[in-house]
Amino acid sequence: MKISIGCDHIVTEIKDYIASYLEKKGHEVIDHGTYDKQRTHYPIFGKRAGEKVASGEADLGVVLCGTGVGVTVSANKVKGVRAALVGDMEAARYAKENLNANVIAVGGRIVGIGLIENIIDVFLETEYKPSKEKEEIIKKIDALVTNEEQMNNDHYFDEFLEKWDRGEYPKQ
């Protein structure tokens, strides 16, 4: 697979380690930096890594910052990106299986390196399991980025809440 990867200066060495880890497993890594410890801004790298996934140049993305929060928020502002910030393997599996997440994010200062490896392995190996409901909700979530009409609309997701109330969502 082609993996787009990015980080801020807080976790450069972890990103470098993960890039090598992925390459050793036979993946092609597109490394968007940052490349050293010089202070920089996490949204730059969340955006860059996310854009390569959204454009189809990469299959999936991995983004890291100290907490994982900043890169996740910025990657998620790229149209077509569904970035999941996780700290365990189960959340990584869930993100791919149910939301077809295309970027996985971790806090390099929060999660140990062994667990980061496991999280990435699970994320890459898990298949999205499509269903009509998942497709509908993913489509609607994706449209949030371009659909300004939904701003300040507290009822944007009402149709899904109503389906839930009617018991129309099968248990995962």
Question: Rounded to the nearest whole angstrom, what is the least distance from the CB of residue 116 to ligand TG6 in the complex?
Answer: 14
Instruction: State how beta strands 60-65 and 103-107 pair.
Output: parallel
Does residue 8 bind ligand TG6 (CB under 6 A)? yes
Question: Rounded to the nearest whole angstrom, what is the least distance from the CB of residue 7 to ligand TG6 in the complex?
Answer: 8
Dist CA 1 CA 64 (whole Å)? 19
Dist CA 116 CA 137 (whole Å)? 28
Does residue 39 bind ligand TG6 (CB under 6 A)? yes
User: Does 65 participate in catalysis according to the annotation?
Assistant: yes
Cβ neighbours of 66 (radius 10 Å): 18
- Which string of x and - marks every residue 43-82 that binds ligand TG6 (by CB under 6 A)? ----------------------xxx-xx------------
Dist CA 134 CA 132 (whole Å)? 6
- Residues annotated as part of the active site: 65
Q: Interface residues with ligand TG6 (CB under 6 A)?
A: 8, 10, 39, 42, 65-67, 69-70
